[in-house]
Structure 1
Amino acid sequence: MKQKLVIGTRGSKLALWQANHVAACLRERYPEVTIELKNMVTTGDKILDVPLAKIGGKGLFTKELEVAMLSGEIDLAVHSLKDMPTELPEGLVLAAVTNRVDPGDALISPKYKTLDKLPAKARVGTSSLRRKAQLLNARPDLTIVDLRGNLDTRLKKLTTENLDAILLAVAGLRRLGWDEHITQVLPQDVCLPAVGQGALAIEARGNDAETLAMLEFLNHEPTRQATLAERAFLAEVEGGCQIPIGVYGQAGDGEVTLNAVIMSPDGKEVVRDTLTGQVENAPKLGRMLAVRMLESGGREILAKLFEIEK
């Protein structure tokens, strides 16, 4: 067993909470091991004046940490699973996926409280094309405003940019103890979450057997299986931040149920579907559902989106 582990993390409040949470779990399990944190800045942290959907590319919040891992500068990295590309760099593996907390999306609107109470043309802030599309599907009369920055920055912009509401992940708010800001958790028939939303991912080197063995206890198998299906769905669709899809898997009693949606950015074109299968076939299930939805109109929606981006 190693006597020291260095955890790489981004410097935002949420990222530091996540890294410190994993560090605390490791210290409790291995009190004789020295656990250190190393703060790093990623590309996604540097570019704050451009919508995520327009930046393109994958691994905006993970690449620098992965380079540090491969060089041996750090031993592991803690990410929000939803920020992780479906394909990891050669030499790195998903060592553990933690027990998922609420995967939902939170509406924060001190004045109006809920989605149905927002007035016509209300200004709603979000940096997510997935949230934008699903919100416009439910309320096409709303005005969507791009919103970038860390959680605390986005909460401040609710006031400074004269917004009527903003959308944030429930999990991040709850981890930071900011539940009081949540005025509504959007139901999943209105807004399906991003792939892996609510779960933490611990990434490490594939050849670092000692570290991998030490991280095994952090893995929550039902969450891992459910998110394997979600990530397989995303990989088949070949989507990222720039594609408006929502997908959520639940594992239990030997089965995984996957619900998904593919939408046009304006929310007018929609393909929804669900599929249940054996838990040992989770990745296959994700790919099957993706193929079925692409063949049912999803491919045409995405083709138009790619044409617009050219």
Structure 2
Amino acid sequence: MLKLILNRVKVLIPMLILISILSFGLLELAPGDPADAYINPLMSAQDIENIRVNMGLDKPVYIRYLSWLKNTLSGNLGISYINHMPVTEQIMEKMGNTFILMGTSLIFSILVAIPLGIFLAVNKNSITSKISSIFNYIGVSIPSFWIGMILISIFSVKFNIFPSGGMHTIGNDSFGDLVKHLVLPVITLGLYNTAIFTNYVEASVSEQLKKQYVVTARAKGLSEKIILFKHVLKNSLTSLVTILGMSIQKLVTGAFVTEVVFSWPGMGRLMIDSIFSRDYTIIMAITMLSALFLILGNLVADILYLLIDPKIKSSKGGF
């Protein structure tokens, strides 16, 4: 396992550097720059150039990239071009909110997917199973932003059951109020992963139910509940752990979209606002953090996979 972690770390650094070069280059190719936020039609060409010089935008792109890379490696993510606040402070302020949304959504997906997947595997031809399968396909096919708008239209605008946006009602910072604001964003963000997880659990449980050890257990007189939850489910978890790592990417990108739809004060909302204002320092910081989360998420999935199924470790020479 230690060898696996070391190998991933070796790949991590050059991969992040490559991502940073591509991201910096794409920002350079995009029309406009952060100086546009300070320019008005009455300014002379010299005034505009002075703004660019003061912001360091007059230097060649490779000089600005190397300067950014040096500061980032030293733990300094820079200062916002727009509000002149440290980028680290702004991200740390929003990161916790994003983790709340992502974590709650992931827990919601797992808690729904495992029992639903088991039910679909055991009751393949029932009407309820067919209806659930239809909802799974809908969850995979429909974009999250569209689902979010539909939920807002029904549960916020028409029936006024849940808030349409934000994290708290003004003047109410209670946990209950937070839960009310979480319901619609969590469903929006979690629906895709719930559908994917359900399909994997169903397929894995169905495959395990055909194995010889299940036939043997039934011959010994074990009840279906014991066979299903003590043996089949345990052997089916490996496929779920694998897809968990793969789902991190969708979870991160989905969280950004969901935060915009529901005005959730997280990193996604900060990222979108920074893109519109061309705040390069914040865009680069969030891009690199997102890439780091994706890589670490896959590493955690690999480690959990080894812990759940030690046979994989031995078959590959202990990694």
TM-score, length-scaled by structure 2: 0.25
More helix by share: 2
Higher CA-based Rg: 2
Q: 1 or 2, which has the higher strand percentage?
A: 1
Q: Which has the higher contact order (CA 8 A, sep 6+)?
A: 2
